[in-house]
Structure 1
Amino acid sequence: MKAIVYNQYGQPDVLKLTEVEKPEPGDNQVLVKIHAASVNYGNLVLLKGEPFLARFAFGLIKPKYSIPGGDIAGRVEAVGKDVKHFQPGDEVFGDLSGCGWAGFAEYVSVPEKALALKPGNVSFEEAAAVPMAGVTALQSLRNKGKIQPGQKVLINGASGGVGTFAVQIAKALGAEVTGVCSTRNLDILESIGADHCLDYTKESFTEKAERYDLILGVNGGLPLSDYKRALNPNGIFVHVGGSSSQMFQAMALGPLISMIGSKRMGNFLQRANQQDLIYIKELVESGKVKPVIDRYYKLSEVPDAFRYFEEGHAQGKVVITI
């Protein structure tokens, strides 16, 4: 089978389309013929080995996982003898980040806990855009942000992969949602149901009188003090993505700020979770959440997909067709 393979950390040039052996499913594994995959920030960390702390999970000197790619959607081709919930022919999607990655390939064998049945109302390409970004948005809002109906929620970086899901999931959970993006992305936020859209090139939410119960920092490099100022008493800030300096501020200062005041601030790291994936599937099938896709690339064009994604201006998700 064909797969994208790399053996050293670096720029997208180290990713090569190569013939490798087709995997066989183990007793508790599902063999999936992959129809589509997508690019996430975790893929970029896996490629570069940065920040350096990530290498303790991904390989200190060279990559532990030779085939990158976390999100997939495809069709079950075979199952191991102990698999209980899937059978050949099932259309599935999933997040492979917790079980060896390897999504940028024609086939993959994975534990059944990494998969869920694909939403029936979307294509393979749309389904592949969902798992990691959708679950990240859900867990950061619900688990870390403790979102409640009627709250005022702000998403900074609302037009990217995680941001577009966060806006829609927050709305589905009953919040009043403000999305922050650039001028060219305002139409996207309106189309996915944001109650208020702020163009950061023209105004800053940190300078307005409005205060929020929950803020997700999905992108950007604002200091923690700006986010703290925009929170209501007892408000919560969750750092999901952005500059390295902002991440380290949230790691180092967030717990201290949370200890000495009523406002809570901290980092969030997504964990693959089958039940959360099923929850997102149901939101997609109900029409409350729809994937937003910016560009499509072929498997042979994965290096170009990474170059575009790394620029940081993707409107929604970048999808790989296989």
Structure 2
Amino acid sequence: MSAPQQMRAWQYTNNRGGVAKKLRLESNVKVPKPSGPKEMLVKVLTISLNPVDHKPAETLLYHFTFSKPTTPGADFVGEVVQIPPGCSFQKGDRVFGTAKNAFAGGMLAEYAIADTDRVVLLGDITPEEGAAIPIAGLTAYQSILPRVKPKSRIFINGGSGGTGTFGIQIAIAAGHTVTVSCSGRNAEVCRSLGAEVIDYTQSTLFQDLKAASIQRKFDLVVDNIYTTPELFWKAHEYTTKDALYVLTPFTPTSPSFMKHFLPMKLLPRFLGGGQRKLINFFSQPDLDQLTQMRDWIADKQIKVVFDCALPFEQAKQAFERIATGRTVGKIIVKVAETRSGEKDRDSVRSLDT
């Protein structure tokens, strides 16, 4: 298998009005060439979208740090086309992982560059499942498992998105109990994964959390959406004294975000700061954790919840969908047709229904 000289790729050159409005499918883009000792060329099969694919690009950050034209997309499954010397992968291997640049990884294209130390073999899962894992799966894993004691009680703010649905299952598989917030229309999805649900549209989320903690307080808070600063400032009223407050969507997307975030992070307790430790982070590549997530899915210990799967030509609609902030699970873009196989066909059929 060899790569052509040119390919199709979705690109944008400015951020006015948002990424979805500016994306264009270009037909004569040069296929990138590997240059570094860890770089390999892959034929992209599928990608999944994350908020980081559009939110940072819609701020001033875009003007100073993004290459132009910009091809978005970080999480992917690809088929290896060209490898560097000494690489353990072989041509034709299917791999999944995340691009080196999470903000503008270049994966929403027919071919792309991947780093050999940021991917693992796809194994016995589908391309749709593999593409869904990296950022959302590792964020869920890293925000929960290293931060709790056995049999903890966990609250996840935003349980029905990609990170939330992974987080519910990872926590429960590890022996913890989980309560999540979500809208009533998504409650059944979260309950089906094993979580208790607070419908934030029916009453005040903080008051419901406080009521839910009367019998037992929460040992960890994972805030995947950060829309209610009160949850942090009053966390001591519904959490244990050693509880951590983990803020996962740390992307400084607006002045209002920073206005609330900076006091939360910097103001000490004795000057009126929060009474629980705030941790903000962006998930880090971890090959062992990627492999563990892959194996859990292959063994059906956890499952990927899909919002929708769209063909490459409809990537613009995929970005419009994620920009609503109302997705349930992961959005997939199928860049290339995969080899025929019963497992692939069943997966695609279940996504499209």
Compute the TM-score of the two structures, normalised by the length of structure 2.
0.80
Distance 1:161 1:65, change over 3 A: farther
Pairing 1:110–2:103 present: no
Distance 1:269 1:95, change over 3 A: same
- Could you tell which deviates more after superposition, 92-101 or 111-120? 92-101
**Amino acid across the alignment from 1:16:** R
Pairing 1:213–2:219 present: yes
Distance 1:94 1:59, change over 3 A: farther
Partner of 1:181: 182
Q: Shift of residue 34 of structure 1?
A: 1.0
Partner of 2:340: none
Distance 1:201 1:46, change over 3 A: closer
Matches of 2:205 and 2:262, distance apart in 1: 23
Q: Is the 8 A contact 2:310 2:318 kept in 1?
A: yes
Of residues 71, 77, 83, the one that matches 1:79 is 83
Partner of 1:135: 138
**Amino acid across the alignment from 1:36:** T
Matches of 1:230 and 1:257, distance apart in 2: 20
Aligned identity (percent) is 29
Superposed, 1:1-322 pairs within 5 Å as 1-10=7-16, 11=18, 12-18=20-26, 19-26=28-35, 27-48=37-58, 50=59, 52=60, 55=61, 59-60=63-64, 63=67, 66-83=70-87, 85-98=88-101, 101-120=105-124, 122-143=125-146, 146-194=147-195, 196-207=196-207, 208-209=210-211, 210=213, 211-223=217-229, 224-241=232-249, 245=256, 248-256=259-267, 263-322=276-335
Matches of 2:274 and 2:112, distance apart in 1: 48
Q: Is the 8 A contact 1:36 1:72 kept in 2?
A: yes
Compute the TM-score of the two structures, normalised by the length of structure 1.
0.87
Q: Shift of residue 301 of structure 1?
A: 1.7
**Amino acid across the alignment from 1:14:** K
CA RMSD of aligned residues (A): 2.4
Q: Is the 8 A contact 1:296 1:318 kept in 2?
A: yes
Q: Which runs of 5+ in 2 are unaligned?
A: 1-6, 336-353
Matches of 1:64 and 1:238, distance apart in 2: 33
Distance 1:59 1:114, change over 3 A: farther
Q: Is the 8 A contact 2:166 2:304 kept in 1?
A: yes
Deviations 1:81-108 (A, max 9, x none): 232x211121111111447611101111
**Amino acid across the alignment from 2:46:** A
**Amino acid across the alignment from 1:125:** E
Matches of 1:238 and 1:4, distance apart in 2: 34
**Amino acid across the alignment from 2:305:** V
Deviations 1:206-261 (A, max 9, x none): 21331211011112411222434322211111111389545653443234356877
Q: Which runs of 5+ in 1 are unaligned?
A: none
Matches of 2:226 and 2:264, distance apart in 1: 17
Matches of 1:63 and 1:113, distance apart in 2: 23
Matches of 1:35 and 1:173, distance apart in 2: 32
Q: Shift of residue 33 of structure 1?
A: 1.2
Deviations 1:37-70 (A, max 9, x none): 011011012431x2x4xx2xx5517645721100
Q: Which has the larger radius of gyration?
A: 2
Matches of 2:108 and 2:184, distance apart in 1: 33
Q: Shift of residue 77 of structure 1?
A: 2.1
Q: Is the 8 A contact 1:119 1:284 kept in 2?
A: no
Deviations 1:98-139 (A, max 9, x none): 47611101111221012111141x321121111111111111
Distance 1:314 1:220, change over 3 A: same
Q: How many aligned residue pairs are there?
A: 311
**Amino acid across the alignment from 1:253:** M
Q: Shift of residue 275 of structure 1?
A: 3.1
